[in-house]
Amino acid sequence: MIVEGICVVIAAYCAIRAVFEPKTLKKLPYLNVMNFAVAGAIVLLMPYPITICAAIAYFIGSTLESNAIASTFARLEEQ
Amino acid sequence: MTDLILILAIFLALFGGIAALLVRSAFDKLICLGILTAGVVLFLVEKGYLDVAIVVSLLMPVGTIFILLLLGKKQEAAK
């Protein structure tokens, strides 16, 4: 109960913070933290062992996505 | 305990969708789409469709990277 509460609070706070942050490059760390909290919540949801595969796939995919956004935005800004 | 994570999924999906409608910049829209996808993957895992969740979380960055390839050529997208 406490562990789920911690994951939910971190994910909700970081989602709100990521949307209302004014600068785009400062939004991306909050998006990353929200993805970590959601990956933790996925592991806690179902009691089967394949859940950990879903969590690993979500972790890899979300990290790749936010890093791709960050690198493209940084390359556009320095031009 | 599952109810708490279900509330988180509802909040993430609705908040990300509404924010993606209202936000102006293209990169911010992609960030809001990432928040929406976190909610969708949580819904899939909560219903037990773990294979669908794995495929969705591995294919989500592919679509984002295609959008970023098109977006990286425009100088005015970084504003």
Measure in Å the smallest separation between the Cα of B32 and chain A Cα atoms. Answer: 7
A28 or B1, which is more confident? A28
pLDDT (0 to 100) of residue B77:
64
Instruction: Compute the Cα dihedral for B23, B17, A30, A69 and give only its sign.
Output: negative
Among B3, B8, B59, B75, most A C-beta atoms within 10 A, so best to mutate, is: B8
Domain ranges of chain B: 2-78
Other Cβ atoms within 10 Å of B21 Cβ, number: 9
- Give the tens place of pLDDT for each residue, B35-73: 999 999 999 999 889 999 999 999 999 999 998 888 877
CA dihedral B46, B50, B54, B57 (to 10 degrees): -10
The complex scores an ipTM of 0.89
Tokens coding B12: 């993430």
Break chain A into its structural domains and give their ranges: 2-78
What predicted TM-score, i.e. pTM, was given to this entire model? 0.90
Contact (Cβ atoms closer than 8 angstroms) between residue A53 and residue B13: no
Q: What's the average model confidence in pLDDT over A36-63?
A: 91
CB pairs under 8 A between A and B: 129
pLDDT at res. B38: 92
B14 touches chain A (CB under 8 A): no
φ, ψ at A23 (rounded to 5°) = -95, 140
Question: Given the structure tokens 């279900």, which residue do they identify?
Answer: B6
CB spacing of B50 vs A48 below 8 angstroms:
yes
d(CA B41, CA B20): 17
Gap between the Cα atoms of B38 and B16, Å rounded: 9
From the list A41, A48, A68, which residue is nearest B61 (CB)? A68
Tell me, yes or no, if A78 comes closer than 8 A to chain B by beta carbon: no
| Band of residue A25 on the pLDDT scale cut at 50, 70, 90 | confident
Average pLDDT over residues A39-64: 91
